[in-house]
Structure 1
Amino acid sequence: MALSNNNSKRATLGLGAIAVAGLVSTPLLAQDAHQLIRDNCVGCHTESGTTAAPSFSRISEQRKSPEGWLMTINRMTHLRGLELTSEDKRALVKVLADRQGLAPEETEGYRYLLEQNTNIIESGINQGLTETCGRCHSEARFALQRRSEDEWKYLVNFHMGQFPSTEFHSMSRDRPWYQIAFNETAVELGQRFPLHSKEWSNWQAAARNDLMGRWRVTGFVPGKGEFAGWMSAAKTAEGRYDVTLTGRYADGAALAGEGKATLYTGYEWRAGLTIDGVKMRQVMAANEQGTALDGRMFLAAEREIGGDMRAVRDQGKTELVAIQPAYLRAGESTELTLIGQNLAGDIDLGDGVVVEKVLSRNADRITLQARAEGAEGVRMARVGTSKQLSALTVYNTLARVEVLPTDAVTRIGGAGGNMPKVRAAYRAVGYSVGADGKPGTEDDLRLGYMPASWSIKPADEVAAHEKDDRYAGSIDASGIFTPGDAGLNPERKRSANNVGRLKVVASVADGDARVEGEGNMLVSVQDFVRRVLD
């Protein structure tokens, strides 16, 4: 397996690697949860309200994700001397996330941070928030919180007390930062991310789904490729499950694993599994009906190394979950694999797509030879009575290749030091020209992930002069980039270290031609200021 259990560094977006899977064994009754807060928090936080419905200062005025609450509790432990047993900490995270969490709609657009998909360049952030908050935090960091306006103002004051040099940083020393943050930014945050919202009220009133049962799963693991399998969730307590996962990768290799999962806020799935001897994490969100989970699975020790994952509940019906690959070139015979459950009935791959031969078939998986004719575009495929349709894209010519992540940061490490290397995993996405016939426009037709040959080259003339492509690291055949060793390198000019700037190149075959795409890579120094929160 081309994965390792290297210790990871901090997420470049500002949220530490937080393990919240399998956190609580038994649910807390309301009075028990309140008493837990009283026993551990009222030394600093004051209580008001009634005994049955108490309010705790600086606690009751906030709502956060499970990771957000864990960060808060860890900060109280590291900076305020809070002493909690592991069991009590886990219980607090569970009850706070359940009762003061975020509605599904409130996490939309920001789930990359929860899923630890760290090599993301955010865009479209309000300029004022960028200058006041975004120079230290990702937008997702503050957008995944809900506070009253007063509580946002308290947060400004906390920053001034905890980080008094804030006013002297870039984008703050040239303006009255505190006055802007307190009188303008906090007010705007209170309006955009309020404590009380219709979405949260509706979610609190909604029925909760139990996620126990059997799930058809598909996903991707860097170094191994796409996989399909079955995941079983056996309920052990309210919101807690024992999980097993079995399946196969696209090349036929088997995978198997087991672990534990916790369900927070009625839809936030967090699981920790050991798959083929490697510890993995799952961060997924359930849909409103509790019939599907979508998210990401990644190495527990290296959150940068992971891929998308989807699970569809087995309800005894015919369901087509995925097609691998999800594209085919017009006029060519292509082998496709249909992944699903209870796959009975006729196969319909859409207009102009003919099934030439069924190579193998069972209730979970169909492998066939298909050929497409007609115009480029997306076809909707189905098997039998399946209500779940899967997209299959027909194209004529591969016009361009996008390398993901577009921009990535890796970090040198190892070489006997305490800080291991931070790697990155790349994938190539293919596009054909859309209706306008011009590549690189909004009309381009996305084909999906495509197999590629990988290489690196210097980012520019300076990087070429410094031979960054020789010293900064290497990329393997599966698209995993490993940076160079930490420390001085006597082979480099002035014995410099192995940092550098690179282009990551993906070359994808299209018939007899090859199409290339490029991504940006910054190989940086170790993250010396990272504080481990888990």
Structure 2
Amino acid sequence: MLTHLLRRYKPWHILGVAAPLAICAAPADARDAQTIIGQSCAACHAAEGKNSWSRISHQRKTPEGWLMTIARMQTMHGLVISDEDRRTVVKYLADKQGLAPSETETARYALERSLNTVEHIGSEQYNQMCARCHSAARPALQRRPAKEWEHLVHFHLGQWPSLEYQAQARDRDWLQVALKEMVPLLAKEYPLDSKAWSDWQRHKPQPAALAGRWSFSGHMLGKDDVLGVMTVSPAGKDTFKVAMQGRYADGQSFNGSGSALLYNGYEWRASVKVGGVAMRQVLMARDGEMQGRMFEETHDERGLDFHAAKSGSGKLLAVQPDFVKAGSETELTLVGANLQGKADFGPGIQVVSVLSQTPEQVRVKVKASADAAVGVRSISLGRLKGGSLAVYQQVKEVKVLPAFSVSRIGGNGGSTPKVEGRFDAEAWSQDTSGKPFRVGVMPAKWSVAPFDERAEEDQDVKYAGKMQADSGIFTPGDAGPNPARKMSTNNAGNLKVIATVDDSGRALKGEGHMIVGVQRWNNPPIP
């Protein structure tokens, strides 16, 4: 039902998850939001005082969390609200009852649509009681007092009465565990009132500080490193125009423009068209930096990690590529803001020439001596330090990233697109003491193989999809029954992902695991 609602009402507009309509709209002032809540919500949520309502005023959530709440009110309780009013209310609540930056740090992968993340939140009981139906991040991205967590337990049981008969519920007295053990735990771990939130409200920065030039660095799985400059211009209260000029390591341009909306002083949501492709930015903007993820509107798996520093801040973000082989020459690009001075890569690394230098990028040619000390070292540019460079003699191991992933069949005339598998080959080496260290992402030859005997018997390699040998991008098969398969089953599969890296004539292999699953029918803003 939620997916149907999102398609019908498109409430994700404001969040940089789909169409740019609402993200470009200037938010209304707080009085308008209070009026809307009073007229549209107060029939069920009693007023408790000035700008305070039952249930509503006793929770704190991210913008995506408040959007999902309003969507649930529409689908389950018949709330009638316009797109414009929904945008206004979400903006107001996310600003007034949001989360402090430190309260979102451990679960931002869910907001950023990094859906192949293996979660490490909470205890085993938390994972069984809360994270067996949705991500562990969803409750971790909201705050409530004990009474509200108790209300949430009762809501779950009332809305999904078969819950107690499902796996990891029918083997225990689920309701009593939820009320007597989980409610106190959630109230302690995720309380409504916190020092982090009160401190943030007092010291929330002015949004005008975000205007200016931002130097950015990033990396896209199955593609390469990217760098460039993003220009941010004020367009109204908490709204901005965005222009990007950049390039991938292979020279392909990364240029685009769009608009952004800032929630709660740091939650940056932007809609940007890059090379004609609609993309979203979900970033944390704080202390002269923006960090998070940028991904395609209709394919959130096609995304890149994004890190930017504001002009004048004096920040060395990264070096691309971030490794060099002892005894070789290569070109390196330092990315950051207010870059000046000479680059220093440590003993055994000589800067042969400076190819170009701007405040955002310094491109140099370096030579690593054959006896340069191996390992990961810090680098500097003038008085700036940041980023790191790996020096290696030989690749010892190759790891496939992500180690475990899910792609999904789709298309074939249906409404749900395919979800690709996208992979990197990460090289590792060893220092003189035998301690492993990360070298970096290297080119590889890619293939897939059956994960187990059943996958081999079912010919999953043949039917589940195709791996691009040079890129590490896997395109799943079509959705729907396949008459060529046993019992006309669909094109799901269970595969090994194999990367082969050539290190000076030595072939090293790494393996990952990919499930090719069915369509992702339920795709809420927070999974």
Same fold (TM over 0.5): yes
Once the two structures are superposed, what CA deviation does each residue of 1:4-34 show, in whole Å capped at 9, x if it has no partner?
xxxx99xxxxxx9776135474455444332
Instruction: Give yes or no for the alignment of 1:58 onto 2:55.
Output: yes
Once the two structures are superposed, what CA deviation does each residue of 1:143-178 show, in whole Å capped at 9, x if it has no partner?
111001000000001111111111111111122111
- Look up the equivalent residue of 2:342 and give its one-letter code: D
- Aligned partner of 2:103 in structure 1 is 106
- Aligned partner of 1:378 in structure 2 is 376
SS for the counterpart of 2:217 is strand
- Aligned partner of 2:33 in structure 1 is 33
Instruction: Give yes or no for the alignment of 1:193 onto 2:186.
Output: no
d(CA) in 2 for partners of 1:402, 1:18? 37
d(CA) in 2 for partners of 1:188, 1:365? 48
- Aligned partner of 1:12 in structure 2 is none
- Look up the equivalent residue of 2:440 and give its one-letter code: G
- Aligned partner of 1:5 in structure 2 is none
Q: Give matches, 1:10-89, under 5 Å.
A: 20-21=15-16, 23=23, 25-49=25-49, 51=50, 54-89=51-86
Q: Give matches, 1:248-263, under 5 Å.
A: 248-263=247-262
Contact residue 24 and residue 91 of structure 1 kept, 8 A:
no
Over 3 Å counting, the alpha-carbon distance change for 1:531 and 1:97 in structure 2 is closer
Contact residue 64 and residue 526 of structure 2 kept, 8 A:
no
Of the structure 1 ranges 251-260 and 102-111, higher mean CA displacement relative to structure 2 is found in 251-260
- Look up the equivalent residue of 1:526 and give its one-letter code: Q
Once the two structures are superposed, what CA deviation does each residue of 1:246-277 show, in whole Å capped at 9, x if it has no partner?
11221222221111111111111111111111
SS for the counterpart of 2:172 is coil
Over 3 Å counting, the alpha-carbon distance change for 1:363 and 1:152 in structure 2 is closer
SS for the counterpart of 1:106 is helix
Deviation at residue 284 of structure 1 after TM alignment = 0.8
Aligned-pair Cα RMSD in Å: 2.4
d(CA) in 2 for partners of 1:531, 1:362? 42
Deviation at residue 101 of structure 1 after TM alignment = 0.7
Deviation at residue 360 of structure 1 after TM alignment = 4.0
- Aligned partner of 1:226 in structure 2 is 225
Q: Give matches, 1:118-517, under 5 Å.
A: 118-123=115-120, 125-210=122-207, 211-222=210-221, 224-287=223-286, 289=287, 291-315=288-312, 319-372=315-368, 373-385=371-383, 387-434=384-431, 436-437=433-434, 443-476=435-468, 477-517=470-510
Contact residue 326 and residue 392 of structure 1 kept, 8 A:
yes
Over 3 Å counting, the alpha-carbon distance change for 1:463 and 1:262 in structure 2 is same
- Look up the equivalent residue of 1:458 and give its one-letter code: P
d(CA) in 2 for partners of 1:48, 1:257? 47
Q: Give matches, 1:82-97, under 5 Å.
A: 82-97=79-94
- Aligned partner of 1:524 in structure 2 is 517
d(CA) in 1 for partners of 2:143, 2:263? 17
Once the two structures are superposed, what CA deviation does each residue of 1:86-124 show, in whole Å capped at 9, x if it has no partner?
111111111111111111111121111010000122235
Over 3 Å counting, the alpha-carbon distance change for 1:143 and 1:113 in structure 2 is same
d(CA) in 2 for partners of 1:271, 1:394? 37
Contact residue 359 and residue 368 of structure 1 kept, 8 A:
yes
d(CA) in 1 for partners of 2:526, 2:168? 28
Contact residue 214 and residue 337 of structure 2 kept, 8 A:
no
Once the two structures are superposed, what CA deviation does each residue of 1:312-362 show, in whole Å capped at 9, x if it has no partner?
1011x6643321111112222222222334543222112321112334444
Give me the identity figure in percent.
44
Deviation at residue 419 of structure 1 after TM alignment = 2.4
Once the two structures are superposed, what CA deviation does each residue of 1:223-253 show, in whole Å capped at 9, x if it has no partner?
6432211111111112111111111221222
d(CA) in 2 for partners of 1:340, 1:532? 31
d(CA) in 1 for partners of 2:204, 2:132? 40
d(CA) in 2 for partners of 1:426, 1:340? 26
Of the structure 1 ranges 87-96 and 215-224, higher mean CA displacement relative to structure 2 is found in 215-224
- Aligned partner of 2:7 in structure 1 is none
Over 3 Å counting, the alpha-carbon distance change for 1:207 and 1:530 in structure 2 is closer
Contact residue 227 and residue 249 of structure 1 kept, 8 A:
yes
Once the two structures are superposed, what CA deviation does each residue of 1:192-234 show, in whole Å capped at 9, x if it has no partner?
1000011111111114143111111122345643221111111
d(CA) in 2 for partners of 1:409, 1:308? 19
Over 3 Å counting, the alpha-carbon distance change for 1:311 and 1:220 in structure 2 is same
- Look up the equivalent residue of 1:35 and give its one-letter code: T
d(CA) in 1 for partners of 2:30, 2:325? 58
Q: TM-score, normalised by structure 1?
A: 0.90
d(CA) in 1 for partners of 2:139, 2:103? 12
d(CA) in 2 for partners of 1:458, 1:399? 25
SS for the counterpart of 2:255 is strand
- Report the number of matched residues: 510
- Look up the equivalent residue of 1:450 and give its one-letter code: M
SS for the counterpart of 1:208 is coil
Contact residue 45 and residue 53 of structure 2 kept, 8 A:
yes
Contact residue 351 and residue 379 of structure 1 kept, 8 A:
no
Over 3 Å counting, the alpha-carbon distance change for 1:143 and 1:18 in structure 2 is farther
Of the structure 1 ranges 143-152 and 71-80, higher mean CA displacement relative to structure 2 is found in 71-80
Deviation at residue 433 of structure 1 after TM alignment = 2.3
- Look up the equivalent residue of 1:484 and give its one-letter code: G
Deviation at residue 483 of structure 1 after TM alignment = 0.5
d(CA) in 2 for partners of 1:246, 1:303? 21
Unaligned runs of 5+ in 1: 1-7, 10-15, 438-442
SS for the counterpart of 1:241 is strand
